[in-house]
Amino acid sequence: MAATIKWWQQAVVYQVYPRSFQDTNHDGIGDLKGITAHLDYLKQLGIDVIWLNPIYRSPNDDNGYDISDYQQIAADFGTMADFDELLQAAHDRGLKIIMDLVVNHTSDEHPWFKRSRQDRTNQYRDFYFWRSGNGKKAPNNWDAAFGGSAWQYDEQTQQYYLHTFSTKQPDLNWENPTLRESVYTMMTWWLNKGVDGFRMDVINQISKLPGLPDGPLKPHSQFGDARVTNGPRVHEFLQEMNQEVLSQFDIMTVGETHGVTPADALKYAGADQHELDMVFEFQHLRLDNSQHGLGKWSTRKTPLVALKKVISDWQVGLEGRAWNSLFWNNHDTPRAVSRFGDDRPAYRVRSAKMLATCLHLLQGTPYIYQGEELGMTDAHFTELASYRDIESLNAYRDLVTERQLLSPADMMARLAARSRDNSRTPMQWDTEVNAGFSDAAPWLTVNPNYRQINAAAALADPDSVWYYYQHLIQLRHQYPLVTLGSFELLWADDPQVFLYARQWEGWTWLVCCNFTAETLSRPLDQYLTPTAKCLISNYGEQQPNKLRPYEAWVYQLA
């Protein structure tokens, strides 16, 4: 069975948000040369693949997810020569690089869209969704993900265009075969350049429901609405993409797919489907959503029993048939230790290690978001002026200023808990000015706790979160059980402890994680025989039938 393992199944991916990683040209914005400068840091950590958030030319309405030229580098990040240098330097170190592919939409400043909006009859008109409204009424009742209508009226041609995100992000019409061929040509260009794959942004939105009908609910009150996701031709499009492009290269692909279940994932990433290698699912990130119709804007904590069920459903549902992606956080979510752990100084390190243990011993490909290996925390901004994220600012205007559903203080608490800017604050390298990220004013405020939490301090401390991550990565690379073993959830109804077993060829590993700040008593001796061997722990040897606050350990039983 080991002979059938794909390289990306044993890999660990490190996500770099270029704007916040390292500035080298003194403008307060991270750049490609900054990533190249830290490749040895990443190599030492032990990761295999770097995923770059978008670095393409963009007016930056949505931090690069509004692309105006797919084959040029944004000036903020450098030049194509800088990218070529980064790619070569990574490959020289045995590291692979995957690009963020954003093809559900472009920027309204992309040449395709500029030509599209010139008149109603040009050849690019059908690259996008243009529709006539009814007077001042939009073509349908869809809402955009960032608030407001999903339709924008254009005076020049007196029609509306569809944008399921910002007004500056018009959706591409994948029903048009010329559009699809243009996308495939662009993808092939990057792969011929030597990139090692793609993370595909909202890729399950590329097929809309025919006719774009009204819905009984606002489609983007939460992602996953049937009118804009998992559409009737999405698998046809992805199979065509695979045949025309992906199958021609030894690469990895992962699709961002809101609103999918394990059954859906078998269609997108099933071993015999010829579409994607894996998908990002978000069920585990919705368990703490608002219970009052406000979507992600909540201060609730994730209930552990529900979290365990979602993870178990995916582990069991995909085993032997598809492949899981494993992640606690990314550029669109709060920091893991603040959301699922405990970022108070007394518990931050323990809970960060506990969360890492829980995730990295599951079956799938783990994704580490930059700074996660340091135990970086949410920003805890207290002023609206500190935020830069378009989604956060639009939500404040909608919920506080316009609809007055929340008080300013209540909304600020929800932003502090859920804003995307929590994960986008600059990487904390050392105790120098701006955490060593830049000697100029950063585009987004540095988290003040950088004097305590930074890479220099972590590398100097053998007991740091950083070295714990390095050890977990080594375990994954060393033991086939982590890649190939089956998963079994134990104590499914325990609201405080996540206990599971991994088994492969007669070997059993037991993974135990205390998700609380309490010391717990549990009958663990029934599993831990005298011959059990501790492989990793955030405390050291386990105490008989006790779990200390945020304790985590992995034992090999046989």
Residue with tokens 């007004």: 167
Residues linked to residue 14 through DSSP beta bridges, in sequence order: 50, 368
H-run or E-run covering 554: strand 552-556
Going edge to edge, which strands form the sheet with 130-131? 130-131, 159-162, 151-154
H-run or E-run covering 252: strand 252-256
Distance of CA 522 to the CA centre of its chain: 34
pLDDT given at position 291: 87
Of the residues 62, 256, 281, 389, only one is catalytic, namely 256
Could you list the pLDDT tens digit for every one of the 558 residues in the chain? 344 899 999 999 999 999 999 999 999 999 999 999 999 999 999 999 999 999 999 999 999 999 999 999 999 999 999 999 999 999 999 999 999 999 999 999 999 999 999 999 999 999 999 999 987 799 998 989 888 899 999 999 999 999 999 999 999 999 999 999 999 999 999 999 999 999 999 999 999 999 999 876 554 444 446 678 999 999 999 999 999 999 999 999 999 999 999 999 999 999 999 999 999 999 999 999 998 889 899 999 999 999 999 999 999 999 999 999 999 999 999 999 999 999 999 999 999 999 999 999 999 999 999 999 999 999 999 999 999 999 999 999 999 999 999 999 999 999 999 999 999 999 999 999 999 999 999 999 999 999 999 999 999 999 999 999 999 999 999 999 999 999 999 999 999 999 999 999 999 999 999 999 999 999 999 999 889 999 999 998 889 999 999 999 999 997
Using CA atoms, how far residue 140 sits from 168, 172, 418, in Å, is 19, 17, 29
Helix-, strand-, coil-residue percentages of the chain, each rounded to 5: 35, 15, 50
pLDDT given at position 224: 46
Residue with tokens 């509306």: 160
pLDDT given at position 222: 46
Residues linked to residue 513 through DSSP beta bridges, in sequence order: 498, 552
526-530 — which CB contacts under 8 Å span 24+ positions? 527/555, 527/557, 528/555, 528/557, 529/557
Q: Is 256 a catalytic residue?
A: yes
Which residues does 499 contact at the CB level (< 8 Å), separation at least 6? 489, 490, 491, 510, 511, 512, 513
pLDDT given at position 226: 60
pLDDT given at position 108: 98
| Domains by residue range for the chain, with CATH | 10-106+177-472 (3.20.20.80), 107-171 (3.90.400.10), 486-556 (2.60.40.1180)
How far apart are alpha carbons 299 and 415 in whole angstroms? 9
Using CA atoms, how far residue 255 sits from 99, 150, 173, 204, 258, in Å, is 12, 23, 18, 8, 9
Using CA atoms, how far residue 380 sits from 351, 365, 386, 412, 448, in Å, is 18, 30, 10, 9, 10
Going edge to edge, which strands form the sheet with 533-537? 486-490, 497-504, 507-514, 552-556, 533-537
Q: Is 175 a catalytic residue?
A: no
Of the residues 31, 143, 201, 225, only one is catalytic, namely 201
Q: For strands 197-200 and 96-101, give the pairing.
A: parallel
**SS3 for 349-405, per residue?**
HHHHHHHHHHHHCCCCEEEEECCHHHCCCCCCCCCHHHCCCHHHHHHHHHHHHHCCC
Which residues does 344 contact at the CB level (< 8 Å), separation at least 6? none
Q: For strands 69-73 and 56-57, give the pairing.
A: antiparallel
